[in-house]
Amino acid sequence: MNNARTIMYIAHGGGPMPLLGDSAHQNMIDTLKVMAGKIAKPSAILLISAHFEANIPTLTSGAKPNLIYDYHGFPKAAYDIQYPCKGAPQLAQAVQQCLQSSGINVQKDPQRGFDHGMFVPLKLMFPDADVPCVQLSLDSSLDATKHLAMGQALASLDWENLLIIGSGFSFHNMAAFFSSDDSANQKNQTFETWLRNTLTNTNITEAQRTQLLANWHTAPEARFCHPREEHLLPLHVCYGAARKVSDELFACTVLSKQSSMFLWHV
């Protein structure tokens, strides 16, 4: 079995704003490009987006998925964005078999397109749109342990030079993004410090790290930073697939808030 892969947890920003010249996203844009430059071009991408949830975890399995402009109230240019990335039906089949062999029920959807949690960051990281991609949904239960288990199942996926991306946001309190309240910034920093330590501390065992992530909601300021956890859970899938300390931490500022991204080589 040859299952060498790279795993990344990234921030994808606010809707299409990173692609519309928004200055508050420039640090994030630069960071994503740096991360992409640190790896060899992957053979395919499996991406877990915060904007795709299903009662039964679901894979995009079409050969040429459309884009889903799943945001509202932006200029016309936001709805003219193109990213003609191909799907990867064979990868979707392999992922389905891998998850099912671990007792995780998963289905394929040949009609579902790519949401902005996929095409916004990938347009920045792989602008030629020449790496085929499959999206895997979150489980709509939003149960942290289930998403860690999904990642652990993916660790046995036999696919050479695969890039697994968890696309979310380590801070996702929408009201606080537009607040100048110092206490919001302090709460943001408190949770980021906990998250960075959890993923990068070599003195923590993997069993301890798994338990900390399973109980993430008990971390300081966790529920302030994530009133709803869909933007954090792609990280759980990534860590489950890596099951090791992060090889590199990328800290950046997005919309005046601190955000963390992580990279693993497995």
Percent of the chain whose pLDDT exceeds 70: 98
Q: What is the mean pLDDT of residues 63-90?
A: 98
Q: Measured at the alpha carbon of residue 156, what is the angle toward residues 101 and 164, in degrees to the nearest 5?
A: 115
Q: What is the mean pLDDT of residues 54-61?
A: 98
pLDDT at position 2 is 53
Q: What is the mean pLDDT of the chain?
A: 96
Q: What is the mean pLDDT of residues 144-167?
A: 97
Tokens for 33, please give them.
Answer: 């490009």
Q: What is the mean pLDDT of residues 22-51?
A: 97
| Centroid of chain to Cα 174 | 18
Q: What is the mean pLDDT of residues 181-205?
A: 96
Question: 3-state SS of 99-123?
Answer: HHHCCCCCEEECCCCECHHHHHHHH
pLDDT at position 1 is 46
Q: What is the mean pLDDT of residues 183-212?
A: 97
Length of the chain: 266
Single-letter amino acid code for the residue at 241? A
Residue pair 51/116 in contact by the 8 Å Cβ criterion? yes
> Can you give the pTM of this predicted structure?
0.97
Please determine, for residue 257, whether its predicted confidence score (pLDDT) is greater than 60: yes
Single-letter amino acid code for the residue at 168? G
pLDDT digits (tens, 9 = 90+) for 94-113: 999 999 999 999 999 999 99
Give the three-class secondary structure for 220.
coil
